[in-house]
Amino acid sequence: MINKNNKMAMIAAAALALVAAIVIINVMFHRNNISQLQVIQSFTGSTEVRTKGGIYFKLFPTIWTYNKTNQVAFSYVKEESKDNDGVHVFFANKGQGDISTQVTYNILSEEDKVYRMHELAKGDDDVIDRRILATIREVTMREAGLITSSEAIEKREEFANSIRQQLLHNPDYLAIGIDITQFTITNIDFDELTIAAYKKAQEADLQKKTAESEKLNLQMQKEKTVADYERQTAESKGKAEVEKIKAVTDAQREAELAKIKAEQEVTVAELAKQRAEIEANKLLEVAEIQKKEEQVKLEIVQIQARQKVAEAEAKKQQIELAGDITEKERFQLEVARDVRMAFARGFSEGVGGWTLPKVLMVNIGGEDAQAAVDPVSALIRLLGVQKAGELADQ
């Protein structure tokens, strides 16, 4: 029985020790998330700011925890905000609307700024949210009063941007360690009168745009008609100019061709004239050559006649002197005869193929005086001397 009681006492003591250990751990060991920062006040009253994550030891501290980044919706839509804390505004044209927004802000980690934020919030994030909402309402209502409801509908992003510029990185909030980094208008609910007025304005605007479109269409048709007329006129004028240019060009070409043809005819006539002159000169030259040939033939006949006379005289002298001359003289006479005859034959055979010189230089003294008067006689004498030499060689 005692053993059983001891056992129960031991279990109770262990449980008490475990509870005490848990209490001690919770009181003395604490944990911070990396996405949060903590303001820690020890039982002595000293405070510190912890921004690092992890477990740390602190004896009986008071701890306030804040999220480093916060996203808050201020909306009339229950799914977005249960507090029904959107912004009701009046526009310049007396239209009304409920504006739902959303902001994101960061809590800065500088220690002095964290203390200022903590003095404002005292560990309650909702205090910061309410302050930001108050600023949003002030800025949004002021900006809404500067535009009409139609402009808020048609230029919603411009409207949102005008509010955004006054909220993001607001220096008053930066001074207390809060940096607003994002602002968005999520929805605008207009009252029925505003919607009806907008629809009416839209219809009027549509009619106006339709009329302007029809006017523009008519203007375009008019411009097209004028352009077509101008184009057709230009084409007609251009065709007339082309025909005119073609006619002038054809006339110029015909004139050039006629001129070229006339020049060619003159050239042909000139060539024919030159050819006729050449032919006439050739005929004169041929006639002159024939005349010279006839003269040569006549001289040949004269030479042959003289040859016969010479032969006859030689024969007569031979007969007359036959009784008185010696054998030696007869032989010399025969040689002289043969020379003259050979000379006559050679001259008659060769002179037909010669081209006689127009000028013959001879000695006109003594026995050659007759040769100067008769060039042919002088030529015969020269040929006789040449032939005699050939016979002597033989």
**CA 255 from centre of chain:** 45
Report whether 68 contacts 133 (CB < 8 A): no
Instruction: List the one residue out of 142, 119, 141, 120 whose CA is nearest residue 129.
Output: 120
Residue bearing tokens 């040769």? 371
Q: Give per-residue pLDDT as tens, 358-373.
A: 444 545 455 554 544 4
pTM reported for the whole predicted model:
0.48
Q: Where are the domains of the chain?
A: 2-63, 68-190, 294-393
Separation CA 339–CA 333 (nearest Å):
10
Residue 27, pLDDT score = 60
Average pLDDT value for residue range 172-176: 96
Residue 321, pLDDT score = 61
Residues 6+ apart with CB under 8 A from 167: 103, 135, 136, 139, 180, 183
Residue 138, pLDDT score = 97
Residue 229, pLDDT score = 79
Structure tokens at 208: 């106006």
Band of pLDDT at residue 295, cut at 50, 70 and 90: confident
Cα torsion 341, 343, 345, 348: sign: negative
Report whether 159 contacts 185 (CB < 8 A): yes
Residue 373, pLDDT score = 47
Best CATH choice for the domain 68-190 from the list 3.20.80.10, 3.30.479.30, 3.40.50.2000, 1.10.580.10: 3.30.479.30
Range in 1-5, 7-11, 221-225 the model is least confident about: 1-5
Could you tell me where the DSSP H helices lie in 321-374? Answer: 327-350, 369-373
Average pLDDT, the chain: 79
* pLDDT of 71 over the 60 cut: yes
Which amino acid is present at 173? Y
